[in-house]
Structure 1
């Protein structure tokens, strides 16, 4: 199973669409972790799982999404409600509480992937206003198979960013 994961595009449509078009045939699900600053009716978000970020106004998107997608229990939130700019602790508590295997979040504009207690956390960074690393605009392709979760970071132009990419052993619970 493959996921395209984006976040913090901050009203960019022209830059978001080529990324979606580049990968939509190879992925099973597309996720936007908030701060799209677009309406839920916007065509570019039509096929995406989208959550509300702190810069998204109105009721177009939920604060969080928890879904069983095939064998993967996915949790998506923007992160501002869990203070992710300061610590991942609150988010890890929530992920454990809901029994997630894969957690996608944004807000900090810092591209990262890590595992804790058998849960993989992915912040794809920002395609518009990246903070780190080196202000590189990034997104993620995540591939989950029976044994591993591979997180491959890409630049906005589609080039792989191997310095950030990670592979985690899959810990299937229950």
Structure 2
């Protein structure tokens, strides 16, 4: 099962570049997980075209978007327990804080907020920040692919979007 993870799109509407990214990288995923800062209702409605969108609110989301989303989301996929949150505060130690907030019952937790791609394993929990699609702070714009197969280890791949 392919889980496509993105965060921090920070767009008022889906421009041609984002639409191309959606068509090429996001639409084919079994589950699409957005870790906050979708920002606008127009972007949220575009993402809702995906048949299995899961999303959390971010600190920069407009009121209309924020009211439609929760702070966290949890779900099971292929026997793995997955959680997501946008993130908070400074980026320093945020992955550890996110892992601790969800706890040991989770196999994978995803977050955004820092605009920096990160994948680490903390106390047996895979912690993934896909970076930012539009405003990366280190490295190219990016998303993450997470491969979830029952009874197989979780695999995470960064997808750089600098050629898009």
Correspondence for 1:149 among 150, 154, 160: 154
What TM-score do the two structures reach when normalised by structure 2?
Answer: 0.84
3-state SS of the aligned residue for 1:148? Answer: coil
Residue range with higher mean Cα deviation, 140-149 or 88-97: 88-97
CA distance in 1, matches of 2:27, 2:44: 20
Q: 1:93 to 1:68 in 2, by over 3 A?
A: same
- Does the 8 A contact of 1:40 with 1:60 survive in 2? no
Aligned to 1:153, what secondary structure does the other structure show?
Answer: strand
Q: Which residue of 2 aligns with 1:119?
A: 125
Instruction: State the shift of 1:118 in Å.
Output: 1.3
TM-score, L = length of structure 1: 0.79
Partners of 1:65 and 1:17 in 2: how far apart?
25
Q: Deviations over 1:142-161 (max 9, x none)?
A: 112222211111122578xx
Q: Deviations over 1:88-145 (max 9, x none)?
A: 3321211216x21111100001111010111101100001110113xx1111111122
Query: In the alignment, what sits opposite 1:54?
Result: 59
Aligned length: 154
Q: Does 1:96 align with 2:92?
A: no
Please list every run of 5 or more consecutive structure 1 residues that lacks an aligned counterpart in the other structure: 160-174
1:61-83 CA-partner distances (Å, limit 9, x unpaired):
11110112331211010011xx3
Structure 1 residues 143 and 55, CA gap change in structure 2 (3 angstroms)? same
1:106 pairs with 2:98: no
Q: Which has the higher helix share?
A: 2
CA contact (8 A) 2:142 2:159 kept: yes
Q: Distance in 1 between matches of 2:31 and 2:121?
A: 21
Q: Which residue of the partner structure matches residue 70 of structure 1?
A: 78
| Candidates 137, 141, 153, aligned match of 1:137 | 141
Q: Relative contact order (alpha carbons < 8 A, sep ≥ 6): 1 or 2 greater?
A: 2
Please tell me whether the aligned partners of residues 14 and 42 of structure 2 are also in contact (alpha carbons under 8 angstroms).
no
